[in-house]
Structure 1
Amino acid sequence: MYRRLLLTALGTGAAAAVAGCTGGDAGDETNQGEETREADATYTVAVGSTDDYGPVLVDADGSSLYVFDEDTAGESSCYEGCAGTWPPLTVDEDLSAGPDVTAELGTTDRDDGSAQVTADERPLYYYDGDDGPGDTAGQGVGDVWWLVAPDGSKIRESTTEGSLY
C-alpha cells in the first residue's frame, strides 16, 4: 500500500503552496468532489525560501506544500471537502528531490488509486488559499496544517519575531 523512494537532493526551487483542511471532513472516506493536483512524468519536490518561515518544501512550480496533523504515517485522512481546500500533491510517474531536500520522499495510495507524494511518510498537500509561489496562507490553519521543512519536519514557528506559530 505504501511505497517509498529514498532520494538524494537534486535541485532547488522557489517557495509555493500546498494545502489541507481544518479537520471537519478529514475522516470522510469518500472521494466525491475531491480535487487533486497531478505532477508531470518526472516531478521534483524542491526547497523554496520564505521571508517568515525560512526554507520550505515546494512543488516544481514553487507552490508551498503542507502536512496535516490528522494524517497517520503513510496514510491521508483528507478527502471530500477537505481535499477541495487542501488538494493532495499526486504524481503519475517518477519523483525526484531537489538538492536541498533531505526528507525521504515517497508516495502513498489514496482511496481513488492516485499516488500522493509523502515526505518522511507524511502526505503532502496544497492550500487553495495560496495564490501562487511564495504564498504561505495555509500555515497554522486550524492549528493542524503546517509548512514542511527540507528535512520533512513540520514548521510551527516563524523565523520573524513576534510570530504566533
Structure 2
Amino acid sequence: MRLVASSVSLVTACDDAGEWHGMAVTSAGSLSMSPPSMMVAVNRTASIHPVIMRSGRFTINLMDESHAALLEPFARSDMRDRRFEVDDWVEAGSSGPVLKGALCSHVCSVSETHDFGTHTVFFGTVDDVILPQDIARSPAPILWLNGRRVSVATPQTI
C-alpha cells in the first residue's frame, strides 16, 4: 500500500477541558452523499482516539502545500506540543480547531464506530463544510507516497 498515493489530512478534535488535539492521517475520506458523511481510521493508541470517543466530534482538514510545515508536528507524537503553535487555526466551537486555508474542512459528528485490528473507524455525519475564501485557486493537496510527502503539479483535466 506504500505505492498508493493518498491525500494527507489533519484530523482535529477538542477535549472536555477545551484542549485541542490532532494527528496527520492518510486514512480519511468521503463515505456517502446521503447522508453526507466522512470516515477516518485512528489507531487506538493515538492520543486523539479517546478525545474523539468522548466528544463524539472530529474535523477532517484536507492539507494544502502551503501547510507543509505542519505535517511533521502532526505526524510525530514527540512533537505533540508544537501542533497548534502557528496561527493557522480557528475555533469551531465544540468541534475544536479548523485549519485556515485548508482545501476543505469537514466538521463531523460521530454516528458509528467500528473496531478493526489496531484501529477504530469513526463514521461521521458532516455537520459543516468549510471552504477557503479563494475557492477558485488551483488546489495543491499534499500527497503521501512510498513513505514520503510528494507534490502535485497543477492538476490537468483529462
| Higher normalized contact order (CA 8 Å, seq sep 6+, divided by chain length) | 1
TM-score (norm 1): 0.27
TM-score (norm 2): 0.28
Bigger radius of gyration among the two: 2
Q: Which has the higher strand share?
A: 2
